[in-house]
Amino acid sequence: MTSTRLQHRINPVLRRDAEAILRAQGIKPSQAIILFYTEVKRSGGLPFVPSPVQPAEIPNARLRKAIREARQGKGVRTYTSKKAFFDSLKRL
């Protein structure tokens, strides 16, 4: 079977992290791409349901309000020492 060259651009951090996972499973990046294309062809679409953006990446209204208030100094506690801070945590 003949093959063709595939070139693509990808975020270097994403590439590094994904290739580390593949390497741990004994899969070369080229093999992963072949697996992906094979499954796209077989299923007639993506072989998985894309995940939505993680909720932690999009602050909800409550978190946005808390961030805004913290920046304004509302409800912010200060401590005179590290010990005082950790003592306050014990009281929670």
Higher-scoring residue by pLDDT: 51, 15: 15
pLDDT reported for residue 55: 61
pLDDT reported for residue 47: 92
Determine phi and psi for 50, rounding to 5 degrees. -60, 135
Q: Who's near 28: CB < 8 A, 6+ residues apart?
A: 22
pTM: 0.53
Distances (CA, A) of 57 to 15, 18, 54, 69, 82: 20, 20, 5, 19, 30
Give per-residue pLDDT as tens, 33-88. 999 999 999 999 999 888 776 666 667 788 888 889 999 989 888 899 999 999 99
pLDDT reported for residue 75: 85
Domain residue spans of the chain: 12-43, 55-90
DSSP 56: G
